[in-house]
Amino acid sequence: ATPTALMVGTGRSARAGVLIKNGEVLEEVDRLTAVVFDKTGTITEGKPVVTDIVAENEKEVLQLAASLEEASEHPLASAILAKAKAEKVTLLPTADFISYQGKGVCANISNKAVFVGNKHLVKEKALSEKLKESYDKLQEQGKTVVFVGEAKQVIGLIAIQDAPKKTSKEAIELLNKKGLKTVMLTGDAPKVAEAIAKEVGIKEVIAGVLPAEKAKYIEELKEHETVAFVGDGINDAPALTTADVGIAMGSGTDIAIESGGIVLMKNDLLGVVRALELSQKTFARIK
Ligand code: ADP
Ligand code: MG
């Protein structure tokens, strides 16, 4: 590869909002056989909205959850806070806040332990038949469901919807057509992940993955494939650096952007297709 051809390649891609850090990255892109996607903020908008609250006392559940989430930076936290604001719910003071990556958050409110999070946090805690039913139904609709609990009891569910970006389906279908393996790798629950995957045309789903396990999965896949990982979050940085090509969303966290060899400034998965086509053109020309 001649440096001039590479520079032309990367310059043209920059105009399409695809920043490629150097020529070696572009050469790796030319060899890709698999693309692995994070879900939240990558395939989806990352702008989740609360759609349902299931509880005996919905207002109380929203108040407790929002009071905890005020200290969290997770996209789900913003959704819960926005809902609380819209409903004019006053937030309660919390103490001893703890955030468990990929699981949820806990704190004390009026000396009671309150938590908001997924089933990793509530494993042994009892769930009523009614809540269990709602949990399944909401997840099948592609909604992320978090449990809200107080003193080890689950007292309600909050369902949050995060729609796929408009271009995700088109981009993934183009990658499928080019013969690349497309995979979703997410911390969210299997049912939700599968519903979203189906919407955008991804056939392989690895769900319920803790942040630390994302890089491990990429490592395994690399034994048989040349792998790109596309992500946006703080949690995604290890997977971005482990992949043969790390592709970060421009809207992502600073650490994700630093970890990526490619940055998609338009936050649009069609950028992955652009990068592929560009590498094909570049290396076809200079061969
Ligand atoms: P993704 O891989 O889709 O980007 P994350 O690893 O960031 O997702 O989070 C995985 C799951 O952990 C969420 O779907 C949610 O169930 C739970 N979770 C993480 N942080 C929070 C929080 N602040 N409040 C409630 N639930 C949370
Ligand atoms: Mg994410």
Kindly give the interhelix angle for 270-286 and 23-31, rounded to the nearest 10 degrees. 100
Instruction: Select which of 38, 232, 244, 268 is catalytic.
Output: 38
Instruction: Report the number of distinct structural domains present in the chain.
Output: 2
The SS3 assignment for 148 reads: strand
169 and 277 share one domain: yes
172 and 35 share one domain: yes
pLDDT of residue 233: 84
Q: Which domain holds residue 19?
A: 3-45+164-286
Between 4-8, 32-36, 55-59, 102-106, the lowest mean confidence (pLDDT) is in: 4-8
38 and 171 share one domain: yes
Which pLDDT tens digit goes with each residue over 1-54? Answer: 455 555 555 677 777 789 998 889 999 999 999 999 999 999 999 899 999 999
With vertex at residue 203, the alpha carbon angle to CA 253 and CA 174, rounded to the nearest 5 degrees, is 75
Nearest protein Cα to ligand 1, atom 7: 102
Last residue of a domain, one of 161, 191, 224: 161
Q: pTM of this prediction?
A: 0.86
Say how many Å lie between the CA of residue 38 and the centre of ligand 2. Answer: 6
109 and 243 share one domain: no
96 and 137 share one domain: yes
Nearest protein Cα to ligand 1, atom 21: 104
| Residue 43: half-sphere exposure toward Cβ, Cα within 13 Å | 29
Report yes or no for ipTM above 0.90. Answer: yes
CATH number at residue 124: 3.40.1110.10
80 and 8 share one domain: no
Last residue of a domain, one of 114, 135, 161: 161
Q: What CA–CA distance (Å, rounded) separates 178 from 175?
A: 5
Higher pLDDT among residues 285 and 209, named by residue: 209
